[in-house]
Structure 1
Amino acid sequence: MAVSWEEYFRLASQEKQPNLSKKTQERNADNCPPVLRLLEKRQELADVDQRLRAQKEVFQTTMAALKLRREQLEQKEQEIQGSFVRFDKFLQDAGARRSCALRRAAEERHQAGSQQAEVLRLRAHLEELQRERARLQSRLQRLEPCARLLGRVLEQLPEFQDVSELVARFDALANTQAAMRLTERQQLRQVEEERARLQRLRDTWRDELLRLRQRRAQLLERLEAARERTLQWESKWVQIQNTAAEKTLLLGRSRMSALNMFQLVCQHQKQPPALDIEDTEGQLEQVKLFMLDLSAMLARLPQPLPPVQGPGQTKAPAP
């Protein structure tokens, strides 16, 4: 069975289309510049043309083989029919050979059907490739002004050798800009964090300042109370000093009196003072002993008779 060129290329395009569509989707997914995509589409068109030429050659070879095989099959069928006519007596053996030949023919027909399906698939694939080619050509036409613009820019920039270097430089600048924007966002985030931290520190400082003010007020109250107590104790200390001065003066007078009495006792006894001037207790003890002796001596003296009183006189009290 003859297969047309259109059907063969349609099947071939259907076979290759999934891979091509996948590659096209992967390339479209990348953020490539238009010029690079234009160059890639041109390369894809060249690849598609090359694959079409290769598939055309394979198709011609396959069709020639199929034609030769069909001729061989027709010749074998003619030989089998002639053998049935010429060798009727060998019907049983020829029937067996015919069965084998029919099986082989059925297998070859099955193979021919498979090849026919392959041809249909290649034709569908070819049609898909043709549609993809038309789409790429339309896109190439849309991107052609960009290519011309890049060519003029390349002429004005002698430091770049070709468009790919210019696009690479643009990509590098775009990546640098993206990195700088990322760094700027990070720095802004850090600034916001530091501002929040500064606000927290300010709030903490206000709370601490309020607490210190309250503590200062409490300490001032305690200071005023301490000052009042100091004034009270100072007044008490002045009072104690005055009392101590009075007591000291009284003690000095008492010691002087005790010393004078001790000296009088010594003069009365006609004895030199045997005690130290500062020994007030010893002096008082000597004065006490002297007074006791004097009291005992006075007690041993006879008591005088009381005078006779008249009728109008009252009794004088005893001294």
Structure 2
Amino acid sequence: SMAVPWEEYFRLALQEKLPRKIPEQNVHQFPPVLRLLEKRQELKAADQSLRAQKEVFQTTMAALQQRWEQLEQKEQELKGSFLRFDKFLQDAEARRSRALRRAAEEGHCAGRQEAEARRLWAQLEELRRERALLQRRLEHLAPCARLLGQVLERLPEFQGVPELVARFDSLADTQAALRRTERERLAELEAARARLQRLQDTWQDEVLWHGQRRAQLRERLEEARERTLHWESKWIQIQNTAAEKTLLLGRTRMAALNLFQVVCQHQRQPPNLDLEDTEGQLEQVKQFIQDLSGMLASLRQAE
């Protein structure tokens, strides 16, 4: 609803009803009583006019209020219409999306069906070509069939072509097995020959190596014999030298023992040292000689 400025409205209406300005000459011409009556009449007329304008204004405001309410109702209706239209657009968009998805799925399905149809058509063409090939092979094998029929007439032990073919397949398998066995035996024979050749080559190499080794050992044996003879002569020489040294040592020890015994006899003392203690014996002889030399020196001085 609209706020109505009543005071402002009445003030403006009163100003319109009242005279704008009283001329100066009229003010001075009328007496105060007449002017008062005139003012009352003007106020009464203004009041009546204001009441009439107030009624008109109230009527106008009521009409405006009713119009405003109608406009608000229209606005609400328009809002509802907008909402319903928006909902309609959303539903239409959803239906359009579903229709597009359905169309895409149908197109994809149609593509798969078309691809499957092409595959089946290609398979049919392949089967037709295979059928034609089998037909040509059948025509090509027709003489063989007639030949097998003639063979069956000459071989009554076979009941039919399948039995004859089975017998032939068995013989063919046996022949193939024999050929495989023969190839395996030939391969084993070749392997044995190769091993024998390797053994012969190895044996010859070993014989040659052993011959060389034997020659080397003979050379080393001769060298060892020469060294043995050399060291045997050295050993004999060493033994001879050792015998001479031993003889000299024995003579020296006997001489030292004789001197020691002479000293003991001269001193009239029994030998108090071991017979093998040559150093001790020589020490006793040395001491005796020193004592004897000292005595002789004393005697010379006394003379």
Structure 1 residue 283 displacement after superposition? 0.4
- The 1:228–1:27 alpha-carbon spacing in structure 2 relative to 1, beyond 3 Å, is farther
Aligned to 2:212: 214
* In 2, Cα distance between equivalents of 1:178 and 1:259: 112
- The 1:28–1:182 alpha-carbon spacing in structure 2 relative to 1, beyond 3 Å, is farther
* 1:172-211 matches, cutoff 5 A: 172-211=170-209
Is 2:294 aligned against 1:292? Answer: no
* In 2, Cα distance between equivalents of 1:281 and 1:182: 102
* In 2, Cα distance between equivalents of 1:230 and 1:167: 90
Q: Please give the per-residue CA displacement for 1:35-92, whole angstroms capped at 9, x wherever unaligned.
A: 8x41xxxxxxxxxxxxxxxxxxxxxxxxxxxxxxxxxxxxxxxxxxxxxxxxxxxxxx
- In the superposition, the TM-score normalised over structure 2's length comes to 0.51
Aligned to 1:153: 155
- Contact 2:152 2:160 (C-alpha < 8 Å) held by counterparts: no
Whose Rg is larger?
A: 2
Is 2:278 aligned against 1:280? Answer: yes
- Contact 1:258 1:284 (C-alpha < 8 Å) held by counterparts: yes
Aligned to 1:23: 134
Structure 1 residue 260 displacement after superposition? 1.0
Structure 1 residue 290 displacement after superposition? 1.4
One-letter code aligned to 2:258: N
Aligned to 1:227: 225
One-letter code aligned to 1:151: E
Structure 1 residue 267 displacement after superposition? 0.4
* In 2, Cα distance between equivalents of 1:23 and 1:165: 23
* In 2, Cα distance between equivalents of 1:293 and 1:277: 23
- The 1:248–1:225 alpha-carbon spacing in structure 2 relative to 1, beyond 3 Å, is same
* In 1, Cα distance between equivalents of 2:151 and 2:165: 13
- Contact 1:151 1:163 (C-alpha < 8 Å) held by counterparts: no
Aligned to 1:246: 244
Aligned residue pairs: how many? 175
Q: Please give the per-residue CA displacement for 1:194-248, whole angstroms capped at 9, x wherever unaligned.
A: 3123212322332233223222221221122112112211221122122222222
- Please identify which structure carries the higher helix content: 2
CA RMSD of aligned residues (A): 2.9
Residue among 261, 277, 283 paired with 2:259 = 261
- The 1:28–1:237 alpha-carbon spacing in structure 2 relative to 1, beyond 3 Å, is farther
Of 245-254 and 282-291, more deviation after overlay is shown by: 245-254
> SS at 1:233's partner residue?
helix
* In 1, Cα distance between equivalents of 2:295 and 2:222: 69
- Contact 1:265 1:290 (C-alpha < 8 Å) held by counterparts: yes
* In 1, Cα distance between equivalents of 2:198 and 2:268: 98
Structure 1: gaps of 5 or more residues = 1-16, 39-139, 304-319
* In 2, Cα distance between equivalents of 1:28 and 1:270: 153
Higher relative contact order (CA 8 A, sep 6+): 1
* In 2, Cα distance between equivalents of 1:28 and 1:284: 139
- The 1:288–1:18 alpha-carbon spacing in structure 2 relative to 1, beyond 3 Å, is closer
* In 1, Cα distance between equivalents of 2:130 and 2:241: 121
